[in-house]
Every structure is written in structure tokens, then in C-alpha cells.
Amino acid sequence: MHATQSDLDARTAEIVKQYQSLEGPLLPILNALQAEFGYVPKSVLPDVAAALNISRAEIHGVVSFYHDYRDHPAGEHVIKVCRAEACQAAGGEAMSARLLSLLGIDWHGTTANGKVTVEPAYCLGLCACAPALFVDGAPIGRVSADRVDILVAEVAS
């Protein structure tokens, strides 16, 4: 299911057209590209820059600034684990260590079967129910060791 460069270009052109008239269209476009492709392909950035009449360097500066933008496709499911203070205080580090070892990957890694990618996040705004994480954008709070096991069983196979 690899998209060819011309597929990427065509879809990018549509996305750019959709958001171009916004004030400050760049981030909405990049978000939409990542939502569409699962990552922000470097190969489409020159076209986006040209459409917005900014330089390639500027768009590179923005994309590289945000850790959220991936330069390659992620796994089928993306887990974002909070590593900020409140979650750490509530056992977040142990929870994430368990998660990573069960999946057999490190931060930013993807499981060999391509099912799961785990990324760190610094505060998901869920401090009241720490430790917390997102699974494909859905928040899960009070993630105990049991819950990690259930989660892994659900997403990794």
C-alpha cells in the first residue's frame, strides 16, 4: 500500500487548496498531511512551500521544530505516553518502562509487526488522572500495570 510520489503530490495539492485561505495555513496543512499519510513526507514540502510562497528552509524549520511531525510512517496504532512531572510522580516511568519492554521497543520505536509506535509526550493535560497516555488520540488515565497489559494485548497483536 505504498503511495507513489504522484499520489502524494496530488493529495498534498488538495490539502493545500483546502487550507490555503486560512490565516496561518501552514500548521493546519501539516496536521492534515500527517493525518492523511501518517507522517509528513519531506518530498511534498517544496510544493507546500511554493504554494504558500515561503522558502523550503522555513517549512523545514517549522516541521523540524515540532516533534509531533514524523518524517516516516508510524505503526498502525500510536501510543503517546506522558513523561511530564505529574505523571512521573504517579509512577509514569515504571508504567512506560513496562509498556516499552512488553512491546520490545524503545521510545519512538515501532514494533516489528508494524502494529504499534510509542512516543513520549510532555503533558497531555491529564494530570488529575496521572499517569496518562493517548492511544490513537483517545485519552486513557490512571494507567496501572494491569491496564498496560490489557492495552498491549489489544493493540499489539
Before 131, cis peptide (omega within 30)? yes
In the region spanning residues 78 to 107, those forming contacts with other proteins, defined by CB under 8 A, are 106
Backbone angles phi, psi at 134, to 5 degrees: -110, 135
Choose, by CB under 8 A, the member of 7, 18, 61, 145 that binds other proteins. 61
Neighbour-count burial of 153, counting CB atoms closer than 10 A to its CB (0-12 exposed, 13-18 middle, 19+ buried)? exposed
Which CB, 75 or 151, lies closer to other proteins? 75
How many positions of this chain bind other proteins (CB under 8 A)? 18
Instruction: Say if residue 129 carries a ligand binding annotation.
Output: no
Q: Is 23 in the site for other proteins (CB under 8 A)?
A: no
Answer yes or no: are the C-beta atoms of 83 and 96 closer than 8 Å: yes
Choose, by CB under 8 A, the member of 7, 14, 58, 136 that binds other proteins. 58
CA atoms within 13 A on the CB side of 110: 11
Q: What strands, in cross-sheet order, belong to the sheet with 77-82?
A: 116-121, 77-82, 133-135, 138-140
Which CB, 60 or 142, lies closer to other proteins? 60
Q: Is 60 in the site for other proteins (CB under 8 A)?
A: yes
Q: Which one of 2-10, 40-48, 83-91, 126-134 is the stretch in contact with other proteins (CB under 8 A)?
A: 40-48
* Residue numbers at the binding site for other proteins (CB under 8 A): 42, 45-46, 49, 53-61, 64-67, 106
